[in-house]
Amino acid sequence: MGSLTNLSYFAAAALFILGLKQMSKPLTARRGIVWAGAGMVVATLVTFFDPNLHGFFNYILMIVAIGIGGYYAWSTGRTVAMTDMPQMIALYNGMGGGAAAAIAAVELFHASGELNPEYGQDVANLLGNDVALLAIMGAFIGCVAFTGSLVAWAKLDGRYNGSSLFPGQQKFNIALFALTAFLGMAVFNAESAMPIILFFAAALTLGLFITIPVGGADMPVVISLFNAFTGLAVAFEGYVLNNAAMIIAGTVVGSAGTLLTHLMAKAMNRSVKNVFFSGVGSAQSQGSAMTDKEMKSVTPNDVAANLMFAGQVIIVPGYGMAVAQAQHKIWELAQLLEKEDVTVKFAIHPVAGRMPGHMNVLLAEAGVPYDKIFDMDEINADFANTDVALVIGANDVVNPVARTDKNSPLYGMPILNVDQARNVYVIKRGKGTGFSGVENQLFYEDNTSLVYGDGAKVAAELIQAVKEQKA
């Protein structure tokens, strides 16, 4: 039975890897999700036949946990709005880190002798030095990912909008990290539960405190980083449980999350350290446009004429499109323009929206073909030869101060070269700043005009105006 279990775990891990590979391309992403889901089903079912699983009560706990978790995930996943998808991802990701930390807690409490006094040994002697070390590291990373993800969820969901809790919080966080590391070493030689309890309390608090100061504009990077943390914690606890599926799956998720975090931080020209210690979008990072110009507003009818007679139009979606659920209307507008021999492309910045791939998911939901969606590096050179750039809801990722203003917290971040198009139209709900709190210089440029209103409503008006122009 042991050999069959290990073989099944290996098959599950292979499905995880193949599924992740399929998810790297939009055309095969759905298939990848199915494969990875099949791997999870295999790993879960095989666990019921694990020879190390003892006691009828354990089976009851597993069934109840799967029932509650499965029902909640199915119901919320089926009904969640696309605008709420980032916070749901953050929340679910945090649950993975919390689960890994819970596994570590069970193993460490048992090994401490508190629950089994007859052991009479400390954690390291009972588990072995390497297993004890990985259990403690997995607990630490899992706790940070759990509470940190909860803060990310609260910020994305608008339930918490604060930055630092008190002056000098960053220094306090460093001291708290040192304390958590010290308590972790104490757990290594623990013969009672108290050092373990203190260690978990400190690690959970650290996750909260290091995430609270992070600016809202940095949340996509934070979500990706905590995803990597969760994978790493699962891999460590897989080693503790001698579970090959957890080791492989956790390693793959941790590696993928780390790579994605690196790519996103590079897209913002920022380091992960800078994300946590100099948050863009926090109160202290706000700025204003250095200009004496005023914003110009136009009506959808004014925009329609230029769209109709353009040779090429590039549409730049952002979070505002998600809020308005305007992706379907925008795609309808694009199809209408293509019938008039206008070339239409969609430009996606790596950190547009509130999570990695947010805009890609929205456009795919609307039915936009993948060959019309371009990443920043692929399309940036095209803006100079574009008649109309239509921005809907994007802000920080098209702000020219990232190139010109060394005092701006956005300085150095690669942006979409929207300002280089001949005409720029920005669909915007109001005159407010973006998620970073930095005023957008693009809105004051001579070639830029704003169309105020809800994204879906303005898109519908543009469609009607284009049809009238045709008539």
119/155: higher pLDDT: 155
Q: Is the pLDDT of residue 332 over 90?
A: yes
Q: How far apart are CA 209 and CA 170, in angstroms?
A: 9
- The sign one gets for the Cα dihedral 151, 157, 163, 165 is negative
User: Mean pLDDT over residues 311-317, rounded?
Assistant: 95
The answer on 259 and 370 residing in a single domain is no
Last residue in a domain, options 236, 262, 277: 277
Beta pairing class for 343-348 and 448-452: unpaired
Q: Specify if 315 maps to a domain.
A: yes
Q: Is the pLDDT of residue 447 over 50?
A: yes
Which residue segment(s) compose the domain that 328 sits in? Answer: 300-470
The answer on 329 and 263 residing in a single domain is no
Residues 6+ apart with CB under 8 A from 439: 287, 288, 289, 401, 433
The answer on 325 and 273 residing in a single domain is no
Burial label for 170, CB within 10 Å (0-12, 13-18, 19+), is middle
Picking from 434, 351, 354, the residue whose alpha carbon sits closest to that of residue 84 is: 354
Q: Specify if 440 maps to a domain.
A: yes
pLDDT at position 337? 94
Q: Specify if 114 maps to a domain.
A: yes
pLDDT at position 191? 72
Catalytic site residue 405? no
Q: Is the pLDDT of residue 20 over 80?
A: yes
Q: Is the pLDDT of residue 114 over 50?
A: yes
- Give the chain's radius of gyration (CA, Å): 25
In total, how many domains does the chain have? 2
Q: Specify if 247 maps to a domain.
A: yes
Q: How far apart are CA 7 and CA 301, in angstroms?
A: 64
The SS3 assignment for 363 reads helix
Q: Specify if 112 maps to a domain.
A: yes
Catalytic residue among 122, 382, 396, 419: 396
Q: What's the pTM?
A: 0.79
Quote the distance between the C-alpha of residue 245 and its chain's center.
24
**Do 223 and 90 contact (CB within 8 A), yes or no?**
yes
Q: Specify if 6 maps to a domain.
A: no
User: Mean pLDDT over residues 54-63, rounded?
Assistant: 81
The answer on 229 and 159 residing in a single domain is yes
Picking from 79, 62, 68, 139, the residue whose alpha carbon sits closest to that of residue 107 is: 139
User: Mean pLDDT over residues 424-433, rounded?
Assistant: 79
DSSP state of 26: G
Burial 107-132 (b: 16+ CB within 10 A, else e): bbbebbbbeeeebeebbbebbeeebb
Element (H, E) at 463: helix 455-470
Q: How far apart are CA 140 and CA 130, in angstroms?
A: 15
pLDDT at position 307? 92
Number of helices (H), then strands (E), belonging to the chain: the values are 18, 6
Q: How far apart are CA 207 and CA 143, in angstroms?
A: 7
Q: Specify if 262 maps to a domain.
A: yes
313/190: higher pLDDT: 313
Q: Specify the range with the lowest mean pLDDT, choosing from 150-154, 272-276, 279-283, 456-460.
A: 279-283
Q: How far apart are CA 360 and CA 408, in angstroms?
A: 28
Q: Cα angle vertex 174, ends 169, 179, to 5°?
A: 115
Give the chain's length.
Answer: 471
* CA–CA distances in Å: residue 169 to residues 166, 174, 210, 277: 6, 9, 9, 10
Q: Cα angle vertex 432, ends 426, 433, to 5°?
A: 85
Q: Is the pLDDT of residue 87 over 90?
A: no
Q: Specify the range with the lowest mean pLDDT, choosing from 137-141, 226-230, 294-298, 354-358.
A: 354-358
Q: Provide the pLDDT confidence category of residue 285 given band limits of 50, 70 and 90.
A: very low
The answer on 328 and 191 residing in a single domain is no
45/165: higher pLDDT: 45
Kindly state the tokens that stand for 220.
């996509």
**Do 315 and 382 contact (CB within 8 A), yes or no?**
no
**Do 176 and 206 contact (CB within 8 A), yes or no?**
yes
Q: Specify if 351 maps to a domain.
A: yes
Q: How far apart are CA 105 and CA 85, in angstroms?
A: 30
Q: How far apart are CA 317 and CA 328, in angstroms?
A: 12
* CA–CA distances in Å: residue 25 to residues 19, 33, 82, 155, 189: 11, 12, 20, 30, 47
Residues 6+ apart with CB under 8 A from 349: 267, 316, 359, 376, 394, 397, 398, 415, 416
CATH classification at residue 437:
3.40.50.1220
Kindly state the tokens that stand for 348.
């996606």
Q: Is the pLDDT of residue 179 over 90?
A: yes
Q: Is the pLDDT of residue 436 over 70?
A: no
The answer on 316 and 172 residing in a single domain is no
pLDDT at position 288? 47
pLDDT at position 57? 79
Strands in 373-375's sheet, in edge-to-edge order, are 373-375, 343-348, 312-317, 388-392, 423-428, 448-452
The answer on 214 and 123 residing in a single domain is yes
Burial label for 432, CB within 10 Å (0-12, 13-18, 19+), is exposed
The answer on 130 and 258 residing in a single domain is yes
pLDDT at position 49? 78
Element (H, E) at 423: strand 423-428
- What is the per-residue pLDDT across 239-252, written as a single tens digit (0 to 9) for each? 888 888 888 889 98
**Do 268 and 436 contact (CB within 8 A), yes or no?**
no
Q: How far apart are CA 184 and CA 187, in angstroms?
A: 5
Q: Is the pLDDT of residue 464 over 60?
A: yes
The answer on 231 and 314 residing in a single domain is no
Last residue in a domain, options 227, 243, 277: 277
pLDDT at position 46? 85
The answer on 452 and 309 residing in a single domain is yes
The answer on 368 and 259 residing in a single domain is no
pLDDT at position 283? 45
The answer on 195 and 130 residing in a single domain is yes
